[in-house]
Amino acid sequence: MTLIVQKYGGTSVGTIEKIGKVADKVCAHVKNGEQVVVAVSAMSGETNRLIALAEEMSEQPHPRELDVLVSTGEQVTIALLTMALHDRGCDAKSYTGSQIRMLTDSAHGKARIREIQCDAIHKDLEHGRVVVVAGFQGVDEHGNITTLGRGGSDTTAVAMAAALKADECQIYTDVDGVYTTDPRIEPKARKLDKITFEEMLEMASLGSKVLQIRSVEFAGKYNVPLRVLSSFQEGEGTLISLEDENVEQATIAGIAFAKDEAQLTIAGVPDRPGVASLILGPITEANIEIDMIVQNIGADGSTDFTFTVHRNDFPKALSLLEHTSAELGAKQVIGDDQIVKVSLVGVGMRSHAGIANTMFQTLAREGINIRMISTSEIKISVVIDQKYLELAVRSLHEAFGLDVDGKIQK
């Protein structure tokens, strides 16, 4: 018998009518003879509303209590959806994270799943019942409610699918699949029928917001076929799975971008062991995530060091760097928070040479200056001025044949 785990996001369960539509969909799968586990998010806007309440109440809400509060959003949805299923003659039962025992560590607000107890769920499924699980929440070994981080319901669904060895994990959302790039920037963006876990992970880490990054990691690790589909439109969506060895992979899967980047340079630092850690140490200690790092070859005993951070962290990083600069006797600190990162992603890069060159030529033709470059096996990222973001994305999209009906330019 086919077992599927479905996840419905906030917009899919945003109103009573929409929850009814979800119930119709779930019932159709049951009538089709499938076993169904459903994970749901809070109704759209609800999690933000709860966080705002907490912030109104207290300057620094206690993380444990914040989790108690924000986890209520999903509890509302599981109850409503289960009622809707009952009204449609579909046997169903709801579970909170602690009821199924979605056991996590104790890191409130960003807890990691350790283990899921599946006995009760298996029994329900055997009795033909739909199991409705609250996404985003778990419980630690001491019985405290935890949450998995924003967008965590995706991870709930994938973890359930892995634990139950489901045939597929279907993520229903407000877009009909994963696109070659953000259609708001490039209207010719194309929906992908398939993408690999690795590519999806890069796309998610590089700024595509369709799935929570952790859910993709999880799906890859346990080889759970993951499908992104629209709640509102018919269609096959996009299947995220292992690389198909027999099929020649398209060279480039997509173009991702991160808009909110900032670049910092410390120039004229002494070129000696330990300097990188002296520069970056205070930044990481302040919990600022560092993205790209470039250090020049030293000349005359000194060197320049550049890195990028999220734009929100820019003022803090800049002041820390100025402090370090004074200590090290560096020449100057330069900062720019009007930059973006654009990345090409594709497993086909492994077997196709010349991708980087095509990328650089395309940007050069448009007069776009590249400030930093970084590469991995399946991606090439460049940092450019923010004002060129759209031009860069569109010209690369065309150059790599990603446009609807597009062809690779020679």
Our finding on whether 47 is near ligand ASP (CB under 6 A) is yes
Q: Which two tokens stand for residue 36?
A: 């169904």
Q: Which two tokens stand for residue 48?
A: 């933000």
Tell me the site size for ligand ASP, rule CB under 6 A. 13
Phi, psi angles (nearest 5°) of residue 184: -75, -25
Per DSSP, the residues of 354-386 read THHHHHHHHHHHTTPPP-EEEEETTEEEEEEEG
Residue 98 or 196: the one with the smaller Cβ distance to ligand ASP is: 98
Q: Which of residues 182-201 bind ligand ASP (CB under 6 A)?
A: none
255 binds, among ligand ASP, Mg ion, none (CB under 5 to 8 A by kind): none
Our finding on whether 9 is near Mg ion (CB under 5 A) is yes
Q: Which two tokens stand for residue 312?
A: 């929100």
**Least distance (Å) between residue 341 CB and ligand ASP:** 24
Q: Which of 14, 151, 177, 237 binds Mg ion (CB under 5 A)?
A: 151
Our finding on whether 215 is near ligand ASP (CB under 6 A) is no
Question: Which residue in this structure is represented by tokens 């599981």?
Answer: 78
Task: Give the sign of the dihedral formed by CA 363, CA 364, CA 368, CA 372.
Answer: positive
Select from 281, 205, 172, 194 the least CA-distant residue to 241: 194
| Residues contacting residue 123 through CB under 8 Å, at least 6 positions apart | none
Select from 125, 151, 161, 395 the least CA-distant residue to 257: 395
Our finding on whether 116 is near ligand ASP (CB under 6 A) is no
Select from 62, 71, 69 the least CA-distant residue to 96: 71
Our finding on whether 73 is near ligand ASP (CB under 6 A) is yes
Our finding on whether 173 is near ligand ASP (CB under 6 A) is no
Our finding on whether 180 is near ligand ASP (CB under 6 A) is no
Stretch that binds ligand ASP, among 39-47, 184-192, 219-227, 238-246 (CB under 6 A): 39-47
**Least distance (Å) between residue 153 CB and Mg ion:** 6
Cβ–Cβ < 8 Å for 256, 207: yes
| Cα–Cα distance for residue pair 10/136, rounded to 1 Å | 12
Our finding on whether 237 is near Mg ion (CB under 5 A) is no
Letter for the amino acid at 117? Q
Per-residue x/- track, 123-162, ligand ASP (CB under 6 A): ------------xx-------------xxxxx--------
Q: Which two tokens stand for residue 187?
A: 């209207």
**Least distance (Å) between residue 147 CB and ligand ASP:** 8
Residue 10 or 97: the one with the smaller Cβ distance to ligand ASP is: 10
Sites of contact with ligand ASP (CB under 6 A): 9-10, 41-42, 47, 73, 135-136, 150-154
Q: Rule CB under 5 A: which residues touch Mg ion? A: 9, 151
